[in-house]
Amino acid sequence: MLDGNLGTWFGDNMTEEQKQKAKELHKSIKGSMQARQILREDVRFAERQLEQHKTSHEQTCRRSLIRCVCAIVEGTLSLMKAATLPAANFFGIRLSTKEIELATGRRAKTGKPIPFLPFQENVKETLKIFMKAHGVQIAIDYDDSRFKDLCEMFGLRNKLMHPKTLFDIEVSDLAFKTSIRGSNWFDSIGVTIMEHSKEKMASASASF
């Protein structure tokens, strides 16, 4: 997302308070990059396993790959939430109580965990608050069939994790292709948002 060298973030006129906010955001981003790198390597390993064992263990490898892809999607959403408050503080953007609760996963007054959002809403709300915290405005078409594919992939993952019948642990050709389209859509959207966020942070740092 951004250069790992914290010194490149600091403008000559940045106050100590601004430097501290930059440090907190940099720490969040660095951790996110490392976590995503690990999750992405899991996906690559699962892809290699599928390629190598397609004739003998295709279903096993498909199930593993679906689980790994879902992990990086959910991991990315969680990491975005974790970076939301540091980004909002850095950019001086005010978030509503509801947005702060979504970012932290806890009630503002009691500190108790908030209920989990359904996957579809979790994607929409997470991307929304992450972009707001970075001052980024990107129109996302949730009517795109590939967003539906993404949601169907998680429906498939749920069956794999909690099978009720023998058929629930099968990954058909159609389901597999649907999952690939959905995950590619999410990855594309994520890259676009991250690039815009990177530009905003670089611009803000240079202005100090």
Q: Check: CB of residue 160 under 8 Å from CB of residue 169.
A: yes
- pLDDT tens sequence across 130-140: 999 999 999 99
- Residue 125 in domain: yes
The count of C-alpha atoms lying within 13 angstroms of the C-alpha of 146, restricted to the half-sphere facing its C-beta, is 12
- pLDDT tens sequence across 95-119: 999 999 999 999 999 999 999 999 9
Mean pLDDT for 177-183 is: 98
C-alpha span between 201 and 197 (Å, rounded):
6
Q: Check: CB of residue 76 under 8 Å from CB of residue 36.
A: yes
Greater pLDDT, 20 or 49: 49
Cα dihedral value 23, 25, 29, 31, nearest 10:
60
Note the pLDDT of residue 206. Answer: 64
Greater pLDDT, 60 or 32: 60
Note the pLDDT of residue 202. Answer: 77
- Residue 6 in domain: no
DSSP bridge pairs for 106: 113
Domain that holds residue 58: 16-203
- Residue 3 in domain: no
Which of the four pLDDT bands, split at 50, 70 and 90, describes residue 91? very high
Count of the separate structural domains present in the chain:
1
Q: What angle do CA 108, 137, 40 make, to 5 degrees?
A: 75
- Residue 170 in domain: yes
- Residue 135 in domain: yes
Residue 201 CB coordination number (10 Å)? 23
